[in-house]
Structure 1
């Protein structure tokens, strides 16, 4: 059983009360996973006016509605960091597919593609009243195309400055970081210093760098190293998208790529990865 929490990853623990207090909803006997990284534990969750009011063994609590969660898990809403909703949030704002999977927050704007005007994008989201929280990255490909089209060259100093301004504007308007799709046009035409400059613009506002790296095949270790180097240069967290290696000759090389991530983390860098499930036929 999954419950949408006002604060998705942080519980406020107020469970020590033994008073026979009355709540709107009482979820009893669940295995609570609180998002802190601690082990699960048995307990109850009380909800009042749509917010978590108490957590723990609430034996004397009463409620208008009591849900028996025996054998089930009670957890904060999940965050899907790589969704590519890209317009579907406007078509199906109820987001049933995410809600049924326990996802209450999604991140879009991945792989270098996003809305260019964040103010307009978030205004549209508000107008359709989505049932989930939506965060957006600002896409490098979107920024580059707006300034340079699909030009296969380095930006001029003026163009780079213009791109930096667009990244900063997007961050000020609510973007949560910079995404790249360095395997796609026009991002594939960019070089590392260009991406570092834009990453620094996002880092000024606390942004994360999320990257569909330049190569997931023969040059995958170089591509992972580039993503880590960009985060190091911009002094910002790095999130490597759909972390994998492609083509049969490269099978098993995740030992190398994971070692790169582990070493970066030992260095003190905030580097994480995401992965998607895949069905083999």
Structure 2
């Protein structure tokens, strides 16, 4: 289905002055922007007097937990109504993917703030997260893989350093998540179980992100590291 929006004051998102022009949408894609575009069989919506811009990006979101629910639409609707169409999710160390699916600690993944529904528990990997959410989520998602999620799945909320085996398993989850499409790693050092990571624990996670440098959320060759700490 084609829709032609006419008469809007359009902002390009690059800082330029807005220009009154038309926008042609074909299915899920914007295919043309300009003045006096031909109808070309499109349904015309006159939006004169309104402003039009690219969708906004929410760079600190937990909507990955909405995305894995049976019906994610209600969780996204309030954001869409505010013009937000893209999300960086998995923040504060708590992602809805990147855990051992057979872990005995699944009830502790999410740190008590978020929880996995029964339909999601057979999954666990970032790859499976995107497979599950791609078609039913109405917005664009980028996922940070949560240190707390990975740690909780190998050792629960234990207030102690990880054993060598647990550390290797946790690092394996983080590295696999990056290979499978996560855009970075998030740390929540004020939340359980990230709170119990010893000094240097954050540095261990950074080894999975070559060339990442502070401050938090700086994009680099290796990905993004988001830190929510004390």
TM-score (structure 2 length as normaliser): 0.71
Match of 2:92 among 111, 119, 135: 111
Q: How does 1:134-213 map to 2 (within 5 A)?
A: 134-203=141-210, 206-213=222-229
CA shift digits 1:71-110 (9 cap, x unpaired): 2111112222222235433243333223222222223211
Structure-2 residue corresponding to 1:92 = 71
1:133 equivalenced with 2:140 (yes/no): yes
Task: Encode CA deviations 1:106-133: one digit per residue, 9 max, x unaligned.
Answer: 232111111222123223214x622222
Structure 2 residue corresponding to 1:34, chosen from 1, 7, 12: 12
Q: Provide Cα deviations, 1:39-68, integer angstroms capped at 9, x if missing partner.
A: 3222221233542222222x2622432222
SS of 1:151's partner is coil
Q: Does the CA-based 8 Å contact 1:167-1:202 persist in structure 2?
A: no
CA distance in 1, matches of 2:38, 2:127: 44
Distance 1:193 1:38, change over 3 A: farther
Residue pair 2:22, 2:37 contacting (<8 A) in 1 also: no
Using CA pairs below 8 Å that are at least 6 residues apart, which structure has the higher relative contact order?
2
Post-superposition offset of 1:199: 2.2
What whole-Å deviation, never above 9, does each CA across 1:121-177 have from its counterpart, x for those lacking one?
223214x62222222211111122223333333345554333222111011122111
Normalising by the residue count of structure 1, what TM-score does the alignment of the two structures yield? Answer: 0.59
Give the direction of change, closer, same or farther, for the CA distance of 1:60–1:167 in structure 2 (3 Å limit).
Answer: closer
Structure 2 unaligned spans of 5+: 100-124, 212-220
Q: Kindly name which structure, 1 or 2, has the bigger radius of gyration based on alpha carbons.
A: 1
2:167 is the counterpart of 1:124: no
Contact 2:94 2:147 in 1 (8 A): yes
TM superposition shift of 1:192: 4.8
RMSD, aligned CA: 2.6
